């Protein structure tokens, strides 16, 4: 019997889906899950995702290194923001980072009762898809969206993952949400960056001159790790 793939377009809709026995992949392409993949790929030891600024401040007061973003900008007073390039610094290797963002960490919090949570992005597309194909679980691809609304980039990434999983012949597509995501990805695959140019978050980040961030986040397989939740922390799958 084949497993299923269901795309959930926003965290707001997630509680409507049965998920306690499913593997949930949280996707926030621009830019939280791209940062998480980059951080673990470049040697950061663990990431502690928290939903609120208040939680982040509490951890900061205890001496933790804290990254915080709201509305696409770094929150004043914190150590790091939400640009993947910040997480490539060699001095961060081996560190634990507390992380809170507008959308991505909220989606992780919503999915906390799932069988397992993994992190998805274009940066780990092939390795993640290969790993998912071996798990023998029904999968929910949870798009973080933008403040509980649909967004294009996370849906495109969900479509890319679903397309790769379908090619393994271990899954069947029975959900309209998955079909829609795959159709969108099929249209965009040739030039993701150009396809994104009219999207709301592309325009939001363009006003902040974050073009290099977007180009990097839309480049497949540049941070080949599989971040998974172990307890309260995100670690590289196979982390010891």
pLDDT tens-digit readout, 31-85:
999 999 999 999 999 999 999 999 999 999 999 999 999 999 999 999 999 999 9
Q: Where do the domains of the chain lie, and which CATH numbers do they carry? A: 3-234 (3.90.1560.10)
pLDDT band at residue 240 under the 50/70/90 scheme: very low
Mean per-residue pLDDT, 228-233: 97
pLDDT per position as a tens digit, 146-178: 999 999 999 999 999 999 999 999 999 999 999
Burial of residue 74, with CB atoms counted within 10 A of its CB: 0-12 exposed, 13-18 middle, 19 or more buried: middle
The dihedral formed by the CA atoms of 102, 107, 110 and 114, expressed in degrees to the nearest 10: -160
Mean per-residue pLDDT, 173-193: 97
Answer yes or no: is pLDDT of 238 > 70. no
Helix axes 152-166, 125-133, angle to 10 degrees: 50
pLDDT per position as a tens digit, 83-137: 999 999 999 999 999 999 999 999 999 999 999 999 999 999 999 999 999 999 9
Local structure of 97: helix, strand or coil: strand
Question: pTM here?
Answer: 0.97
- Structural tokens at position 186: 């099929």
Answer yes or no: is pLDDT of 239 > 60. no
């Amino acid at each position: 019997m084949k497993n299923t793939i269901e795309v959930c377009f926003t965290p707001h809709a997630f509680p409507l889906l049965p998920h306690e026995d499913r593997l949930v992949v949280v996707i926030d392409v621009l830019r939280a899950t791209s940062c998480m993949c980059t951080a673990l790929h470049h040697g950061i030891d663990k990431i502690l995702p928290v939903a609120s600024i208040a939680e982040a401040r509490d951890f900061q007061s205890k001496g933790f290194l804290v990254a915080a973003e709201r509305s696409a900008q770094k929150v004043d007073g914190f150590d790091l923001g939400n640009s993947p390039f910040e997480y490539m610094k060699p001095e961060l290797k081996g560190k634990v980072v507390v992380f809170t963002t507008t959308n991505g960490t909220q989606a992780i919090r919503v999915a906390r009762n799932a069988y397992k949570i993994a992190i998805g992005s274009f940066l780990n597309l092939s390795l993640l898809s290969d790993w998912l194909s071996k798990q023998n679980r029904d999968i929910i691809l949870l798009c973080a969206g933008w403040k509980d609304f649909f967004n294009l980039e996370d849906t495109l990434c969900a479509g890319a993952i679903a397309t790769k999983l379908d090619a393994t012949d271990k899954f069947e597509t029975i959900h309209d949400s998955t079909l829609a995501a795959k159709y969108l990805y099929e249209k965009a695959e040739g030039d993701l960056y150009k396809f994104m140019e009219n999207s709301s978050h592309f325009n939001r980040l363009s006003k902040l001159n974050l073009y290099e961030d977007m180009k990097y986040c839309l480049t497949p397989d540049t941070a080949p790790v599989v971040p998974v939740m172990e307890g309260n922390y995100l670690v590289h799958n196979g982390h010891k």
